[in-house]
């Protein structure tokens, strides 16, 4: 093995892979078998975060940064003048095993530019995973990026070796895709997603009959969208997400703010990065859809196409729907408790447990750990202190922002001053 050349390839292909954020390793339950290497159920440290906030280490590389396509937003596009490299299948296998043995990594995230065509590339990605599993007896985590347009047969094989599969939709709207990635068609993403979903269902039902049936892609599938490259509103982005979660049973949709990398009149200019807060708000909305029982139409719609950056989406919804409040903490159902700003699902659970034994008052709620600076305006409990009524949404927002540590507070207060909204507020 030529170590200098491998090192050079690693530099190039690890750097090119850093733009892909869809590599959380959560959800897999693969355990060590036959005294093999690795155990993806007990992941540890490094480059990526799981759903529950753990940081795990994956060797995150591209098989190659050669590509036949010319997607405007991508560093790897064929017209971009960069140093190119490609790993051989065996090189990726050896690197993974060597890094694993040295305790640098706990798994592999393998993506690729497209050499020749989709199947030619996908075959090589699958070959890496197959060798790791069958020749090296590697039981660590493997996330394979599926190549848009790859055949059903290769997609089926990929899920037998990988823990997670993902096909990146990249651009949330068809119009944006046409503009920035004219070589790609939306069906090229949708077809493999549908295939993965069907295989997961089929293997699961076969396993019920035949115990030895393998689990297909045990950590499911995910996708990534680039935000801010093609002008979609937050509503367009999140409706696409909601569709993917429902239609393809996605485990996760990732939102990656576009980083301007080139002078191209179709794209935002260099120096106009998507604010981190926009990504955060999209993730919060995603969370509300998946765990809090919100429907996307409640959070984003024609009248409200973009998320507010200065307050979180649940508070924003509550301020637009004050007729649902205050909620009686001692009587409300789980769904309504989860809608109170400042109360997370863990607190909802604790409230439901605690109120079996006593009526809850402010002191109890504080002890449960709810965020009082937001919650106090939206609930009633077994005490009258703090109880507030008949405030407008603007007044509530001002009160909450005045007591929060948000970095947007200063900007919001200035804005209110301009409209004279900072007049003393009445209390009831």
**Site of interaction with ligand SF4 (CB under 6 A):** 67, 69, 71, 74, 76-77, 113-114, 181
The DSSP element (H or E) to which 224 belongs, if any, is: strand 221-227
- CB closer to ligand SF4 out of 71 and 108: 71
Could you tell me the smallest distance in angstroms from the CB atom of residue 232 to ligand SF4? 17
Classify the C-alpha dihedral 182-185-189-192 as positive or negative.
negative
| Residue where the block lists tokens 């699958």 | 126
How far is the C-alpha of 196 from the C-alpha of 269, rounded, in Å?
37
| Residue among 87, 238, 112 nearest 167 (CA) | 112
Compute the least distance from the CB of residue 366 to ligand SF4, in Å.
Answer: 49
Min CB(198)–ligand SF4 separation in Å: 24
User: 44 or 182, CB closer to ligand SF4?
Assistant: 182
Q: Please report how many Cα atoms fall inside a 13 Å half-sphere around the Cα of residue 285, on the Cβ side.
A: 33
Look-up: residue for tokens 């703090």?
A: 386
Nearer to ligand SF4, 17 or 282 (CB): 17
Min separation Cβ 76 and ligand SF4, Å: 4
Would you say 193 or 327 has its CB closer to ligand SF4?
193
- Cβ 74 to ligand SF4, closest distance in Å? 3
Q: Which is nearer to ligand SF4, 74 or 122 (CB)?
A: 74
C-alpha 391/C-alpha 204 separation (Å) is 53
DSSP for 362-400, written as a single string: HHHHHHHT--HHHHTTSEEBSB-TT---S--HHHHHHHH
Q: Are 189 and 172 in contact (CB under 8 A)?
A: no
Q: Are 128 and 163 in contact (CB under 8 A)?
A: no
Shortest CB 5 distance to ligand SF4, Å: 22
Q: Which is nearer to ligand SF4, 20 or 310 (CB)?
A: 20
């Amino acid at each position: 093995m030529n170590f200098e050349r491998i090192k050079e390839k690693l530099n190039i292909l690890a750097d090119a892979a850093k733009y892909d954020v869809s590599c959380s390793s959560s959800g897999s339950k693969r355990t060590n078998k036959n005294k093999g290497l690795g155990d993806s159920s007990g992941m540890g440290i490094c480059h990526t975060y799981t759903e529950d906030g753990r940081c795990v280490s994956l060797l995150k590389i591209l098989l190659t940064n050669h590509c036949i396509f010319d997607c405007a937003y991508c560093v790897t596009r064929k017209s971009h003048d960069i140093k190119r490299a490609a790993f051989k299948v065996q090189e990726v296998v050896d690197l993974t095993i060597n890094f694993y043995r040295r305790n640098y990594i706990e798994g592999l995230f393998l993506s690729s530019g497209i050499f020749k065509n989709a199947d030619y590339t996908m075959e090589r990605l699958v070959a890496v995973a197959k060798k790791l599993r069958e020749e090296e007896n590697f039981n660590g985590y493997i996330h394979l990026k599926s190549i848009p347009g790859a055949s059903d047969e290769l997609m089926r094989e990929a899920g037998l070796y990988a823990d997670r599969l993902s096909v990146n939709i990249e651009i949330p709207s068809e119009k944006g895709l046409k503009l920035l990635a004219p070589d790609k068609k939306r069906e090229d993403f949708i077809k493999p997603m549908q295939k993965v979903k069907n295989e997961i269902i089929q293997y699961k039902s076969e396993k019920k009959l035949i115990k030895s049936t393998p689990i297909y892609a045990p950590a499911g599938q995910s996708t990534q969208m680039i935000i801010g490259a093609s002008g979609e509103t937050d509503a367009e982005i999140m409706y696409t997400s909601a569709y993917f979660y429902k239609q393809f049973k996605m485990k996760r949709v990732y939102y990656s703010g576009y980083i301007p990398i080139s002078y191209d009149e179709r794209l935002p200019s260099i120096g106009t990065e998507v604010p981190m807060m926009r990504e955060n708000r999209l993730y919060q909305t995603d969370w509300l859809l998946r765990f809090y029982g919100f429907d996307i139409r409640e959070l984003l719609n024609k009248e409200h196409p973009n998320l507010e950056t200065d307050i979180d989406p649940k508070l924003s919804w509550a301020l637009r729907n004050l007729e649902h409040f205050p909620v009686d903490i001692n009587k409300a159902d789980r769904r309504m408790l989860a809608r109170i700003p400042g109360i997370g699902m863990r607190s909802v659970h604790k409230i439901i447990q605690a109120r079996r034994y006593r009526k809850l008052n402010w002191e109890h709620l504080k002890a449960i750990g709810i965020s009082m600076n937001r919650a106090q305006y939206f609930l009633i409990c077994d005490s009258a202190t703090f109880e507030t009524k008949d405030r407008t949404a603007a007044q509530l927002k001002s009160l909450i922002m005045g007591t929060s540590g948000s970095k947007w507070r200063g900007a919001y207060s200035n804005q209110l001053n301009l409209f004279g909204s900072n007049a003393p507020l009445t209390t009831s």
